[in-house]
């Protein structure tokens, strides 16, 4: 705790409130947002480069004007300090405009706020949209060095951060290049380029996609005959006869890339299992409420489980009775699970082997492949490729609520080819993508180390360990005392004037 720290020579105990005045932004109403005027700075405009601005052409109080070089601090949702360089603008609520007092420089306060943001998160209220109250923010205790030492600290921080930021920028470029390479690899895979040599060496042994699709149709017919016999023997719901799907039209085929000889384009329904609900989505909100959640029972699958490839931790459950109401939304081990939303939508993961039966929630979709004819791993890679993601993005374009419905999902086209080549392609992809993943993990770990080094530099800077103290500097305690004395005189003069 900072209370137990002995300040370095010339330093003084102070609070964040001693360093500056903090003006909260104006509470602009959505009805005041316009398409022209000065931009309104909201939190997303600070922490997202591509966030759109709202504008206001009206004249508001001068205290809400932000100019280039001003220091801002977001105190709600996403805490953080920023130097504004976007031209004259209006400040929205939940952001402080920081006016430094004479005891601290602007850049010193900026880096100090960077350093104490983690501590402020601990003081923040709320679990989703966190915010820190002004009282707790201003009462946060800090160590204040003399003014000349503040300048030395800022200069040293910027020197070290300049080198660190160059390294971080190079790492981020490398990670972006890995993403491009991954998608290029998937593109080549589903154009047949990765297995071209294998195909040439085995061309006389390969079953064409057309022949394989005929075999699937025969299997479907036999499966239906068995289901029909079972129904005649024991009753229940009469099974539905499989309907042959219409082939892709010439117009549709023109829009698709050319495939290698023996490959074919298929719809998802052509390679899914002969079962009801083999392609399905999570239930509507009215069918599954938060009040249905339990501490144990049948696990629920959310979008975050798919995007994080995590189906074992921090789960929510429903009971058996509720599960029986949601049979169309049930998931089995090895089902492909797909996110219905996103930009573009369609992140795909395999529900792990050995996992218990589960139930989808809203914004998730399942795709149960006929594994005898279609490799789950292969089609997970395929759905995660840009080619399929573009299709998924197109089918939600212009839709008010950008979600993939079952019917829309059934319209996408997937490359299909013989089972032997599918296995070879999976091996090729896994080999190459393993290297990509390892490099990505190394870059992520290095970026985490860089962030840890940044925090270490800030910790040393604001504990007096980054630059030497100069005994000739005016002690910070005297500076604080003088400022408080001047403030007291101002207050008394103001009272007399009134």
- What digits encode the pLDDT tens for the residues 109-156? 999 999 998 778 766 665 555 778 899 899 999 999 999 999 999 999
CATH H-level, domain 2-146: superfamily: DNA methylase specificity domains (3.90.220.20)
Same fold, 2-146 and 208-417: yes
Residue 123, pLDDT score: 65
pTM: 0.79
What are the domain boundaries of the chain? 2-146, 150-206+419-468, 208-417
Q: In whole angstroms, what is the distance from residue 467 CA to residue 152 CA?
A: 7
Cα-atom radius of gyration of the chain, to the nearest Å? 31
Exposure letters 434-448 (e unless 16+ CB within 10 A, then b): eeeeeebeebeeeee
Residue 498, pLDDT score: 52
Helical packing angle, 106-123 and 419-461, nearest 10°: 120
Determine contact, residues 404/239, Cβ cutoff 8 Å.
no
Helices (H), 326-418: 376-383, 386-395, 406-409
Q: Which residues of the chain register pLDDT less than 70?
A: 1-4, 122-129, 395-402, 488-498
Residue 275, pLDDT score: 87
Residue 344, pLDDT score: 74
Residue 1, pLDDT score: 54
Residue 322, pLDDT score: 95
The residue written with tokens 């023997």 in the block is: 233
Q: Could you give the dihedral angle defined by the CA atoms of residues 305, 306, 310 and 313, in that order, rounded to the nearest 10 degrees?
A: 10
User: Omega before 344 cis (within 30°)?
Assistant: yes
Residue 75, pLDDT score: 92
Q: In whole angstroms, what is the distance from residue 80 CA to residue 105 CA?
A: 18
pLDDT (tens digit, 9 = 90+) per residue, 365-421? 999 999 999 999 999 999 999 999 989 887 666 555 568 889 989 999 999 999 999
Exposure letters 352-382 (e unless 16+ CB within 10 A, then b): eeebeebbbbbbbbbbbbbeebbbbbbbbbb
Helical packing angle, 147-189 and 376-383, nearest 10°: 120
CATH 3.40.1710.10 assigned to domain 208-417? The reply is: no
């Amino acid at each position: 705790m900072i209370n137990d720290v002995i300040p370095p020579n010339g330093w003084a105990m102070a609070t964040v409130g001693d360093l500056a005045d903090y003006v909260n932004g104006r509470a602009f109403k959505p009805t005041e947002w316009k398409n022209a005027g000065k931009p309104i700075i909201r939190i997303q405009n600070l922490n997202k480069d591509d966030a759109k601005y709202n504008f206001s052409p009206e004249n508001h109080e001068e205290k809400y004007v932000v100019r280039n070089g001003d220091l801002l601090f977001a105190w709600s949702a996403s805490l953080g300090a920023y130097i504004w360089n976007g031209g004259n603008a209006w400040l929205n609520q939940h952001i402080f405009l920081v006016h430094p007092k004479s005891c601290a420089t602007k850049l010193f306060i900026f880096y100090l706020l960077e350093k104490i943001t983690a501590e402020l998160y601990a003081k923040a209220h709320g679990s989703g949209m966190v915010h820190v109250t002004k009282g707790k923010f201003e009462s946060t205790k800090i160590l204040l060095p003399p003014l000349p030492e503040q300048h030395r600290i800022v200069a040293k921080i910027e020197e070290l951060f300049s080198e660190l930021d160059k390294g971080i920028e190079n790492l981020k470029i490398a990670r972006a290049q890995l993403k491009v390479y991954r998608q290029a690899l998937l593109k080549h895979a589903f154009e047949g380029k990765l297995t071209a040599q294998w195909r040439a060496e085995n061309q006389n042994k390969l079953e064409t996609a057309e022949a394989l699709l005929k075999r699937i149709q025969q299997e479907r017919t036999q499966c239906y005959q068995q289901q029909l016999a079972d129904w005649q023997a024991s009753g229940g719901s009469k099974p539905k006869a499989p309907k042959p799907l219409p082939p892709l039209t010439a117009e549709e085929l023109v829009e698709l890339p050319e495939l290698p000889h023996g490959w074919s384009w298929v719809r998802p329904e052509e390679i899914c299992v002969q079962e009801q609900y083999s392609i399905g989505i999570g239930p509507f909100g009215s069918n599954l409420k938060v009040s249905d959640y339990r501490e144990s029972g049948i696990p629920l699958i959310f979008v975050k489980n798919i995007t994080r490839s995590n189906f074992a931790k921090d789960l929510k459950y429903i009971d058996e009775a509720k599960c029986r109401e949601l049979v169309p939304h049930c998931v089995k081990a090895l089902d492909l699970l797909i996110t219905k939303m996103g930009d573009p939508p369609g992140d795909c993961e395999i529900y792990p082997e050995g996992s218990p039966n589960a139930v989808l929630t809203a914004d998730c979709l399942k795709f149960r492949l006929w594994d005898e004819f279609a490799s789950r791993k292969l089609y997970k890679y395929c759905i995660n490729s840009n080619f399929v993601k573009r299709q998924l993005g197109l089918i939600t374009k212009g839709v008010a609520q950008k979600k993939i419905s079952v019917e829309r999902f059934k319209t996408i086209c997937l490359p299909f080819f013989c089972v032997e080549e599918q296995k070879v392609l999976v091996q090729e992809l896994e080999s190459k993508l393993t290297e990509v993943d390892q490099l990505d993990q190394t870059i992520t770990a290095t970026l985490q180390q860089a962030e840890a080094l940044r925090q270490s530099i800030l910790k040393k800077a604001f504990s007096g360990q980054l630059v030497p103290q100069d005994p000739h500097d005016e002690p910070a305690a005297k500076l604080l005392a003088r400022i408080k004395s001047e403030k007291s005189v101002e207050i008394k003069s103001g009272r007399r004037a009134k």
